[in-house]
Amino acid sequence: MVLALVLLFTGALVGFLSAVPGQAADPPRPAVTAVVQPGDTLWSFAERNLPGWQPRAGVAELRKLNDLEGYVIHPGQRLALPARR
């Protein structure tokens, strides 16, 4: 009976210590951004800033990540870039 209580207490303690907030493996990294240049379209912005991506997929991801309702972007606007694949 004592052994069962010790094991129960040890298991509860381990469970509590492993659930302590602030013990994340990797803290979130700040978002990488790029500035829209004069003459940029969302397509050209995606091509320049997302090398290796298909432009259509890049545009879709940029719209989603930056909460863009349409396809219009403006010079000087700072857009968050998706994590590299």
The pLDDT, as a whole number, for residue 69 is 95
Structurally, at CATH architecture level, domain 31-85 sits in: Roll (3.10)
The pLDDT, as a whole number, for residue 83 is 86
- pLDDT digit string (tens) for 55-71? 999 999 999 999 999 99
- Helix axis angle, 42-49 to 55-65, nearest 10°: 100
Provide long-range contacts, Cβ within 8 A and 24+ apart, for 29-32. 31/80, 31/81, 32/80, 32/81
Boundaries of every domain in the chain: 31-85
- pLDDT digit string (tens) for 8-61? 667 665 665 565 565 556 666 777 999 999 999 999 999 999 999 999 999 999
Helix (H) or strand (E) holding 7: helix 2-18
The pLDDT, as a whole number, for residue 30 is 73
